Amino acid sequence: MSYLEQLSVELTRVGIRGRARARILTEAADHLTEGDEERFGDPRELAQLFADELATQATTRAAYVAFAALGLAGAGFAVGWVLVILEGTADITSAAFLPVGLVAAFALIACPQISFAAGLLALLRARRLRKLRVAPAAELALLARRTNTALAFGASSMLAFAVYAVDYHAAFSRSQVIAAAAGAVSLMVPLAAAAIAGRTAAVVQSAVPGEAGDMFDDFPLPLPRRPWLVCLALAGGLAVVLLAAAGLDEGLRNAVAEVVLVVVCFAALGRRLGLRS
Which residue, among 174, 171, 175, 159, has the nearest Cα to 87 in the 3D structure? 171
Q: How many C-beta atoms surround the C-beta of residue 8 within 10 A?
A: 21
Residues of the chain falling short of pLDDT 50: none
Task: Tell me what percent of the chain is helix, strand and coil, each rounded to the nearest 5.
Answer: 75, 0, 25
DSSP 176: H
State residue 159's pLDDT score: 95
State residue 124's pLDDT score: 95
- The ranges assigned to domains in the chain are 62-212, 215-277
Q: Return the axis-axis angle of helices 98-129 and 137-167, rounded to nearest 10°.
A: 150
Report whether 47 contacts 13 (CB < 8 A): yes
Cα 230 to Cα 188, 254, 276: the distances in Å are: 32, 20, 10
State residue 222's pLDDT score: 83
State residue 27's pLDDT score: 87
pLDDT digits (tens, 9 = 90+) for 113-153: 999 999 999 999 999 998 899 999 999 999 999 999 999 99
Q: Which long-range contacts (CB under 8 A, 24 or more apart) does 223-229 make?
A: 227/266, 227/270, 227/275, 227/276, 228/266, 228/276
Q: How many CA atoms lie within 13 A of 51 on its CB side?
A: 25
* Alpha-carbon gap, residue 195 to 158, rounded angstroms: 15
State residue 176's pLDDT score: 86
Cα 108 to Cα 27, 80, 99: the distances in Å are: 51, 12, 14
* Alpha-carbon gap, residue 276 to 100, rounded angstroms: 33
Q: How many C-beta atoms surround the C-beta of residue 174 within 10 A?
A: 8
* Alpha-carbon gap, residue 217 to 225, rounded angstroms: 10
Residues 6 or more apart whose CB falls under 8 angstroms from that of 115 comprise 70, 74, 149, 150, 151, 152, 153, 154, 156, 157
State residue 184's pLDDT score: 92
State residue 12's pLDDT score: 93
- Burial call 101-114: b when 16+ CB within 10 Å, e when fewer: beebbebbebbbbb
